[in-house]
Structure 1
Amino acid sequence: MSKTRSDNKSDKVSPDLDTPTDIPQAAVGKISTALNTLVADAFALYLKTKNFHWHVSGRHFHDYHLMLDQQSDAIFATTDQLAERVRKLGGITVRSIGQIAKLQTIQDNDENYVPPREMLRELMEDNKHMAAAMRKAHKLCDDNEDSGTAGLLETFIDETERRTWFLFEASRQEGSNAA
């Protein structure tokens, strides 16, 4: 029986893609898995943020539209750096939208209409989820002495926390001290 592309699934790196590293192969596998999930979640969060950017409406349209555009650009920028980090370690990174769909933990939102405040709150929660996943991956990197990935994640955690903060503030009820 011949193998098709969908049948040819292997976690082994082709000798042509075998990047040298001093990090043990078992650690490369664990870190690559964590980073690939982050890549998938970043793509999912990017597209959700763009979706909300395209479909936001209401009296704060201009401000929300611009904020979501800036945030989506920042999220998208993380995908390449995370995927390239996987390759620097000698791992295999995501190859398709289908693989992203299998790995993502950020839920899509395909609703025809989402009120602006709900958009912001949902994105805030998704960014909090991303920050928590990045911290977990950071710990894995620390445990395996992968300071390069840990340093990259520290920057992305800070950026994700900033997005969370902005979404929180933008989604607060006017005249209210509480969220």
Structure 2
Amino acid sequence: MADTNPALDTPTDLNSNKVRSVADALNGTLADCFALYLKTKNFHWHVSGPHFRDYHLMLDEQATQILAITDIIAERVRKTGGTTLRSIGDIARRQQLTDDDRDFVAPGEMLTILRDDNLKLVESMRAAREAAEAAGDTATSSLADEWIDQAEERAWFLFEAGRRS
């Protein structure tokens, strides 16, 4: 993949045009991961009510899981010759998930918002996986399967925790 700085060129046997579409898809997913990580931490810090401990711990675990895949995604972009996110502004330009800057969000609404955002992230990850498969990038495709499974599990936990009896 041709980069503006030859020092960042990474050798790969993948078609540069197809890899570019994979990098774009992964960078969008990465931006959404950072947005979702911060939103999850925001809700973790501000959750209240009778289920405080359970929600607080669950959201912290989920945020940790989301943050853990960010480096893997960014390094995958670099391994295939692409460049990745460089700033908060770059994240803001690429993210599809919306921020939530409200002073107060009810705990049940927090769970619903995060559930829906994780399901949107699944869509983004599936698109990245499809781009990887079209490019013959089996490594990215395989990694995306695990990321999708994790996001689906987070959505499931958020759904179940938010059920009303």
Q: In terms of Rg, which structure is larger?
A: 1
One-letter code aligned to 2:49: G
For the 8 Å contact 1:13–1:92, the answer to whether it is kept is no
Hey, what does 1:52 align to over in structure 2? 43
Give TM-score scaled by structure 2 length.
0.97
Q: Distance in 1 between matches of 2:134 and 2:38?
A: 32
Task: Give the CA deviation at 1:13.
Answer: 4.1
Aligned residues: 164
One-letter code aligned to 1:165: W
Matches within 5 A, 1:1-179: 12-174=3-165
Give CA deviations for 1:77-107 in whole Å, capped at 9, x if unaligned.
1110000000000000000011001000010
Aligned residues: CA RMSD: 0.9
Give CA deviations for 1:14-69 in whole Å, capped at 9, x if unaligned.
11010000111101110000000011000000000000000000000000000000
Task: Give the CA deviation at 1:132.
Answer: 1.0
Runs of 4+ in 1 over 2 A off after TM superposition: none
Hey, what does 1:5 align to over in structure 2? none
Gap runs ≥5 in structure 2 = none
Q: Which has the higher helix share?
A: 2
Q: Distance in 1 between matches of 2:13 and 2:52?
A: 50
Give TM-score scaled by structure 1 length.
0.90
One-letter code aligned to 1:30: S
Higher relative contact order by CA 8 Å / sep ≥ 6: 1 or 2? 2
Task: Give the CA deviation at 1:137.
Answer: 1.1
For the 8 Å contact 1:44–1:104, the answer to whether it is kept is yes
For the 8 Å contact 1:13–1:91, the answer to whether it is kept is no
Q: Distance in 2 between matches of 1:110 and 1:120?
A: 16
Q: Distance in 1 between matches of 2:8 and 2:156?
A: 40
